[in-house]
Structure 1
């Protein structure tokens, strides 16, 4: 897809006529400087910075090394200033969105790209202002009116910076450096089975806040005593302040008071209708302080694992699921709006699914909010994927930060029932210690949901035709989640395959399936045909009926998605073809096999 001549033309235009960069950049590292996350963004006053931004491709990272040659964007730069690069309106990208699918000449590009735009603000003296990014992949550095504001690492979680001191009345200039280069110590690391979409992939907002505001809060049913709602409210500063929590539909109003750290914890007797896939009931919840009011819609439910069952609201439930990548429904590229999210989840509902696994990273907030409304249970995951550098302290720090941002953003979403800390990681002491620390951190942040990690190493006894789940990590998670590709990467008699374990826990078949090129037909023995894929699904249905501790499945995957690993020119062409739906939105035969199975569960 990449046209070399077109790319070189764009590149040299960039280096000769379009840089608008920064005067204060002798040494810029990527030490994390974003601040504690602000949540409930849709409930706050804000200015959207979505739309058209100027951009420059910078593969040599010149902008971070040579600060003397750049116009920093003053409206009237001095004529004698040595300015070699300046942004121009001709090179533009849409935000939110990945750069790969917007510009053919940078479809394969991995590296540094600079974004720039101006915006107007009627700045008020009694307000605080914060820049909020839904996500940008992978390393992001933000500059406002000539000053570095901060940086963030991680491609799929939100971050924000207080910019009150640097924001101007009237016209403001923002420059954002985004670098999606892959490196061994990053999370994920060098190799992934999905496209490394670069750019500002989710919305950007300027938040207008009161000088003291509600930074975040949580309210959920108490798993220990479901007749009570429990939670906390956290102010932006350390103030002892009176608060009110109200749920009008329940005629509930509770006075609270924060401690010297600006935190109020509470437990309130209440009996809301329970949120479930059959009844995705949401309540309006209002929290008010002296200076601020937030309004959210929240559902209330309990989730727990008991022996080999998953209990939703105290009742056993079988998770009828499907895995989903954050790939746009028809044209590819990163999902960035509610319509795209709704289409993917609508296809899941058409499967008769009650659950989705959002792989292998936190998806757009629109996905989990839409799942709340549609009644779909959610597995949410951080991209601790395959061969992370388990003994690298930076890798762990980034993983824990992503975990914290994911949980903080979505802690009020009733749909989210599983936090996953990893996918298909090789067994070993360093790996298990790394993940045990993440599990401990998860429990500290949120003890109301189940914890899992998708495993794939099992012991196979050929004589018994049995797979044994023995991974040490299973001691520390709530669910036995197994990725298994019988019929595709090995074995053919999947229907007679047996499973065993000494862990008295529920099992989810978190991945299974096989590839097919939509429209290619043949026999059930002919790889890449729709019939071959459908037969894998038929055999798995028969196998599932023989696993007494099976509590759910989420086959791989809803829709074909782009991947650099999938290079077969005839059948893949850089698409993973394991989808039940093609990249053009056409359902394959296996879709209907799974749909019929879910009707019976």
Structure 2
């Protein structure tokens, strides 16, 4: 799905701002008619949970409603008119006046609807969007709903971050010609100094298509005719980690020499490859340094904020990070675009977090209920998961910053049924995009001895917490455990291996001269222990600390106002570990290939 843009043939209007808002309070059917008159207003984009002081809104399970008036420009008389919602967590329903337009399931990927026949240029219409935050055993991510003794519906879920809901990303109204570009796929290769660009333009109807490649200065460097083909860019500037260079592919539909539609797709010339135990970008070994992150900030929840976007990337540069994983869902497209422009490498992850009932048995993994079964995570769950993969790749396939697809976080990959569940999904991912490696983040109790799916993937991304959840406060024992397990993965699979999560909860300002968990010193020492082990393994290709910043979670006695494993606080103040990481990662630039940023 193409991101809406202004072009010589298209117009784009932001519908962000304050909308009338209310939660569903009277068991109304999942439909809407009439004017919303609650007196409440909610910001878009933002999660609604923390905007209000009413706990009934924060803890609401079910539908919430957003509404505003929209005026269609008078000049949009001959174009198609579309409504685009960048994200509705976890299900969205759209109404124009009192007419139901359509719905979308999946909280972190965009959807759009053609509303041309329901609106009129120069006239106003009432737009209502319903958002449902319910999670079940057949949603991605999964969850379950219980009813308390007092009748309150309560959402249970298996992921360790708050289930923020609402319109957390932008909403748009845009126009496009009747005959238009509907999709573009760009794949690049390198032959010597020449960039080889394979393109495929999908149009709304059979059309005459021409494409032009422009360099960063706007100079045309290649052109071709036809909906699919290959461009060759001589002496191409490569997109590199820490040194991004972007080209523009201008796709035009023409009729008798007249441009009917024009869409510009940015791209970078670069290659990604796993060769033996190495991860290669442009044929050169790359070592990941960075974080698992979250879209999370005070008041906004998961609401996208450009100010936080800029500041977070500034902190990534300051600390010496060259990458991050979109844990545990696709991030806003603005984040991906920013990574493209600034040379930050991204592991792009679906929202498949929590496919693991063994966590109910603690770190021992003693599940009393099988994770994969007709009654738990089943064929319908797998179908929803497959759709999440399709939508992720359709949205992010052209981003040069995206170097690997992560199709799940911490699934119960050691359980019976895991292979039958995941093998078709891995095959689907490779079919949709054969150019990028595929991975998953391995939960702690799935080891090299019992994991059932590791051989299906290209890179071993491990989540390990020796010294925190295991051997807590005993870093000497933790180091022995960690080194033994990592070496086991290396010996058995011979694939690139990296740490996708490792970290320790830390309260800023808490100090001790001993190895005391929760102190700033312990967090720094914990990371240092892990790094000694990483540096002893030649096939180790990266380290991404959990987490970039503290983030909100559900209630729990093991959480103190959320997860505190961030090396920055939730409002982005550095803990001692941030300075220690800065020293390490900037030092690695002269020691490990592919670490410069």
Question: What is the TM-score normalised by the length of structure 1?
Answer: 0.84
Of structures 1 and 2, the one scoring higher in RCO (CA 8 A, sep 6+) is 2
Matched, 1:175 2:128: yes
1:350-386 C-alpha deviation (Å, 9 max, x unpaired): 1101111110000111111111122110011012113
Is 1:359–2:327 an aligned residue pair?
yes
Shift of 1:89: 7.1
From 203, 224, 230, the equivalent of 2:170 is 203
- Counterparts of 1:59-458 in structure 2, within 5 Å, are 59-64=25-30, 72-73=33-34, 86-88=35-37, 90-105=39-54, 106-123=57-74, 124-169=76-121, 170-190=123-143, 191=157, 192-222=159-189, 227-248=194-215, 251-258=220-227, 264-266=228-230, 268=232, 270-290=234-254, 291-328=260-297, 333-387=301-355, 390=372, 391-426=377-412, 427-457=414-444
After superposition, give the CA deviation of every residue in 1:64-109 in whole Å (9 maximum; x if it has no partner): 37x8xxxx34xxxxxxxxxxxx423721111111101211212232
Q: Is 2:468–2:504's contact at 8 Å kept on the other side of the alignment?
A: yes
SS in 1 for 2:117: coil
SS at match of 1:408: helix
What residue in structure 1 maps to residue 19 of structure 2? 53
Q: Distance in 2 between matches of 1:292 and 1:256?
A: 15
Change (3 A) 1:429 1:130: farther
Tell whether 2:546 aligns with 1:546. no
Give the whole-Å Cα distance in 1 for the aligned partners of 2:556 and 2:194: 51
Alignment match of 2:524 (pick from 519, 534, 550): 534
SS at match of 1:289: strand
Greater mean alpha carbon deviation, residues 490-499 or residues 346-355: 490-499
SS of 1:405 mapped into structure 2: helix
Aligned position for 2:479: 495
Give ranges in structure 2 of 5+ residues lacking alignment: 144-156, 255-259, 357-370, 589-597
Deviations 1:437-493 (A, max 9, x none): 22212222222222110012467xxxxxxx746623221111011000010001232
Contact conserved, 2:47 with 2:303, CA < 8 A, in 1? no
Give the unaligned 5+ runs of structure 1.
Answer: 1-36, 74-85, 259-263, 460-466
SS in 2 for 1:292: strand
Residue of structure 1 in register with 2:587 after alignment:
600
Measured on the aligned residues, the alpha-carbon RMSD in Å equals: 2.3
| Alpha carbons 1:116, 1:174 under 8 Å: kept | yes
The alpha-carbon distance between structure 1 residues 536 and 200, as it changes in their structure 2 partners (threshold 3 A), is same
Structural mapping, 1:449-468, within 5 Å: 449-457=436-444, 468=448
CA distance in 2, matches of 1:285, 1:223: 17
Structure 1 residues 482 and 566, CA gap change in structure 2 (3 angstroms): same
Pick from 493, 499, 503: which aligns with 1:513? 503
Aligned-pair CA distance for 1:196? 0.8
Could you tell me which residue of structure 2 aligns to residue 19 of structure 1? none
Q: Given the two structures, how large is their TM-score scaled by the length of structure 2?
A: 0.84
Cα 1:469–1:299 shift into 2, 3 Å: farther
Give secondary structure in 2 for the equivalent of 1:576. coil
1:243 CA drift (Å): 2.0
Structure 1 range deviating more: 228-237 or 353-362: 228-237
Structure 1 residues 209 and 99: CA distance shift in structure 2, 3 A = same
Per-residue CA distance 1:330-366 (angstroms, 9 max, x = gap): 5561141322222222212211011111100001111
Asked if the contact 2:418/2:453 (under 8 Å) is kept, the reply is no
CA distance in 2, matches of 1:420, 1:61: 38
